[in-house]
């Protein structure tokens, strides 16, 4: 199982552009959620915890800049945001970056550049499996290449699925991850497995990795949304 991709959010009101960008991203192996306006995105953000946001500046209900300011004010500081817009004045670029954008891509977008920037941003956030990468999150050590997790230097015996689930959650630590996102990112399917299966795996993982707070980390259920792994 390769956790190459996360969930890419695309806030784009132009249906032709939305179809084109989604096609490029999905062909590259990404999962994509399209939001037609700011209200649609705000309404679904808590349910669909996207890993990266492509945000159009000119939306029918409010500007992308306002959406970005709201997003950062609400505490979503770890969510990388790339502006995707026809605006290319230096003042606009500066305003976007000051508001908290991580990157800026002008339209008409080019496929190769869009995919390269998305890939670079996900790597920077640690959301792409780099093969031999190792992450130290004391007392846990996650070796993605060897597919091995140690707790206080002790190997934790996990199944293939449990390791995939643990890696997915540790990469998204501090964020609410929906069951749908887990189904797509870990099981590679959409809504074809009962949520009980997800809950059962979560329960086993919490027990094996002792994620009930005793080691400074807790894996909590978030009512009607999913799960969040966080340090205390």
Task: Count how many domains the chain has.
Answer: 2
> Are 217 and 153 members of one domain?
yes
More confident call, 175 vs 193: 175
Mean pLDDT of all residues belonging to the chain: 87
Determine the structural domain holding residue 156 and report its residue range: 134-231
Question: What confidence category does residue 175 fall into, taking pLDDT thresholds of 50, 70 and 90?
Answer: confident
Question: What confidence category does residue 1 fall into, taking pLDDT thresholds of 50, 70 and 90?
Answer: very low
Among 206, 205, 183, 207, CA closest to 194 = 183
In a domain, 2, yes or no: no
Question: What confidence category does residue 116 fall into, taking pLDDT thresholds of 50, 70 and 90?
Answer: very high
Rounded to an integer, the average pLDDT of 7-26 is 93
The predicted pLDDT at position 53 comes to 95
Among 47, 49, 63, 50, CA closest to 9 = 50
> Are 16 and 107 members of one domain?
yes
| CA distance linking residue 51 with residue 57, whole number of Å | 19
């Amino acid at each position: 199982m390769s956790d190459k991709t996360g969930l890419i959010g695309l806030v784009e009101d132009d249906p032709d552009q939305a179809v084109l960008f989604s096609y490029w991203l999905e062909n590259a192996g990404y999962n994509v959620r399209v939001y037609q306006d700011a209200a649609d995105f705000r309404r679904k953000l808590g349910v669909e915890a996207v890993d990266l946001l492509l945000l159009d500046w000119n939306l029918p209900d409010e500007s992308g800049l306002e959406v970005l300011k709201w997003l950062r004010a609400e505490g979503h500081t770890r969510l990388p945001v790339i502006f995707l817009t026809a605006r290319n004045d230096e003042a606009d670029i500066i305003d976007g970056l000051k508001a908290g954008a991580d990157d800026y891509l002008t339209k008409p977008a080019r496929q190769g550049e869009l995919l390269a920037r998305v890939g670079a941003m996900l790597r920077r956030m640690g959301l792409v499996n780099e093969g031999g990468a190792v992450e130290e999150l004391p007392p846990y050590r996650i070796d993605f290449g060897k597919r091995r997790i140690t707790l206080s230097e002790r190997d934790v015996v996990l199944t293939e699925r449990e390791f995939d689930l643990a890696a997915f959650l540790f990469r998204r630590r501090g964020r609410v991850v929906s069951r749908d996102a887990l189904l797509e990112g870990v099981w590679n399917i959409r809504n074809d497995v009962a949520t009980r299966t997800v809950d059962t795996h979560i329960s086993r993982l919490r027990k094996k990795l002792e994620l009930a707070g005793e080691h400074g980390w807790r894996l909590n259920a978030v009512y009607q949304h999913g799960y969040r792994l966080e340090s205390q």
